[in-house]
């Protein structure tokens, strides 16, 4: 239960940042190109760096957080409140925006619940506008005088603590926590909720940050997938090469999680690979100027500062080699039947009629779809950008091959699911969360987003219903 709560909280943090990744990349590229030590130094263009970092990015985060709580109205009040922490602080206020955006939205939501039933007819617009404006003023002042300084103190303390780890060469130890947490789908929460705020503050001080390389390094996962490619058996060996390409070049880390979960001892390989990658970056004084999203080698190189390519490439290469060596030993020692049994035990690889359900009742898939018109299928994940996008693309291609043109197939974050969907496909570990969001819909669990047989079975049963 605790893990579920942590995952839910982590996804909430991640969903405030993920929709705005394009803005972060834009800021990172402008920084890499035009600052005095950049590739194309330009004093005029470099004027964009400070305002984007101080105002644009935190406001976008606050808006996203407020919008998740109470739509556009909540987002507006959340941004007003965030303005207080931004102006009242001397550091980039990403953590403050993550707090004030949703908080401001929640407060206006509660006020609306009280006053809306009492508004006289014809005064709705007047009262709604003034209630939001007055509350915004109060919250902005509170943020300016109290919340901003408090968050700045916390952020500075965390940053100082991290600097101690760096100076003592102990930063690689964070991989002991990071790598297992990633496998349980806390990767986005760690990256965007923890490392990104610290990393951005470091960039403003020294021009780069090692924290952008810790969670995003594709080396540990690539090592595991290469081990399965060479020493795996059965289905795991057959699917690992494609997964490795998607993981390394596409940056979809979620694709290697099932390979680790079906042989959990591989977490040791991930930890050792992650630690070696962080240590390499530390020793070579490497770092990135923005968060690479998705975490692919292409994205990492794109936000590597001038003179930092050797450190970036070396950290990925060494992490891959260490992870591969340890993973190879583990995979070779694993009996074939154990690997295959682990995959077959997964709900996604059993017959659909035995494993999919509506809400919390065990209802065969064929029965569930008998009396409904299926218009929309959604592949959902925590952020709605990586693994779900890949799954939806594969499902669309297969639907086209089977002549299915009347069904809309798309992807989204679980938090953005709406009533228009008929069938929801999610990673096995996320299905319960999706059911909480949309309890009356048909939910299907998949273990591996590359499982073509799963998608084919779904489409065949839809065609033949």
Rounded Cα–Cα distance for residues 98 and 102 (Å): 7
3-state SS, 79-131, equals: HHHHHHHHHCCCCCCHHHHHHHHHHHHHHHHHHHHHHHHHCCCCCHHHHHHHH
C-beta neighbour count of 309 within 10 angstroms: 13
Rounded Cα–Cα distance for residues 176 and 272 (Å): 8
Residue owning tokens 């059911």: 435
DSSP calls for 268-308: HHHHHHHHHHHHHHHHTT--BSS--SS-SHHHHHHTPPTT-
C-beta neighbour count of 314 within 10 angstroms: 16
Rounded Cα–Cα distance for residues 447 and 345 (Å): 10
Judged by DSSP in three states, 423 sits in strand
Burial class (CB in 10 A: 0-12, 13-18, 19+), 164: exposed
Of 103, 381, 459, 462, which residue is the catalytic one? 381
- Phi, psi angle pair for 92, to nearest 5°: -55, 125
Q: Is the CB of residue 211 less than 8 Å from the CB of residue 165?
A: no
Cis? peptide before 152, omega within 30° of 0: no
Which residues, including other chains, have CB under 8 Å from residue 79's CB and lie 6 or more apart? 59, 62, 63, 66, 101, 104
Nearest one of 104, 91, 35, 30 to 58, comparing CA atoms: 91
Alpha helices in 144-233 (DSSP H): 148-167, 175-181, 187-190, 196-206, 211-214, 219-231
Please indicate whether residue 412 is annotated as part of the active site: no
Residues labelled as active-site residues? 381
């Amino acid at each position: 239960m605790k893990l579920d709560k942590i995952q839910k909280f982590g996804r909430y943090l991640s969903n405030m940042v993920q929709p705005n990744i394009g803005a972060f990349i834009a800021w990172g590229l402008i920084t890499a190109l035009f600052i005095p030590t950049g590739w194309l130094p330009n004093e005029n263009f470099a004027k964009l760096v400070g305002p984007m970092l101080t105002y644009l990015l935190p406001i976008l985060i606050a808006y996203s957080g407020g919008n998740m709580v109470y739509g556009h109205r909540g987002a507006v009040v959340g941004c007003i409140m965030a303005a207080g922490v931004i102006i009242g602080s001397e550091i980039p206020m990403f953590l403050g925006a993550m707090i004030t955006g949703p908080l401001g939205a929640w407060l206006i939501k509660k006020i609306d619940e009280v006053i809306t039933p009492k508004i006289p007819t014809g005064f709705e617009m007047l009262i709604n506008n003034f209630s939001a404006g007055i509350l915004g003023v109060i919250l902005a002042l509170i943020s300016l005088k109290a919340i901003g300084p408090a968050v700045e103190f916390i952020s500075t303390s965390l940053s100082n603590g991290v600097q101690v780890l760096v100076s003592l060469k102990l930063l690689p130890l964070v991989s002991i926590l990071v790598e297992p947490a990633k496998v349980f789908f806390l990767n986005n929460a760690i990256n965007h909720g923890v490392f990104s705020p610290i990393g951005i503050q470091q960039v403003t001080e020294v021009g780069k940050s090692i924290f952008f390389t810790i969670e995003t390094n594709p080396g540990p996962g690539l090592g595991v997938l290469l081990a399965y490619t060479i020493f795996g058996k059965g289905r795991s060996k057959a699917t690992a090469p494609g997964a490795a390409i998607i993981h390394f070049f596409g940056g979809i880390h979620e694709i290697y999680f099932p390979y680790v979960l079906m042989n959990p001892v591989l977490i040791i390989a991930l930890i050792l690979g992650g630690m070696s990658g962080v240590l390499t970056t530390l020793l070579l004084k490497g770092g990135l100027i923005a968060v690479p999203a998705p975490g692919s080698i292409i994205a990492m190189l794109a936000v590597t500062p001038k003179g930092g390519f050797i450190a970036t490439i070396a950290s990925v290469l060494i992490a891959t080699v260490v992870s591969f060596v340890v993973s190879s030993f583990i995979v070779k020692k694993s009996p074939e039947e154990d690997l295959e049994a682990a995959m077959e035990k997964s709900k996604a690889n059993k017959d659909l009629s035995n494993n999919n359900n509506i809400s919390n009742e065990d209802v065969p898939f064929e029965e569930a779809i008998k009396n409904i018109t299926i218009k929309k299928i959604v592949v959902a994940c925590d952020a709605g950008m990586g693994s779900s996008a890949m799954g939806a693309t594969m499902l669309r291609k297969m639907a086209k091959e089977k002549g299915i043109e009347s069904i809309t197939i798309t992807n989204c974050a679980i938090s953005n699911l709406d009533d228009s969907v008929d069938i929801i496909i999610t990673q096995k570990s996320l299905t319960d969360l999706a059911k909480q969001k949309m309890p009356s819909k048909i939910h299907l669990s998949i273990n591996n987003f590359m499982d073509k047989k799963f998608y084919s079975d779904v489409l065949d049963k839809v065609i033949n219903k």
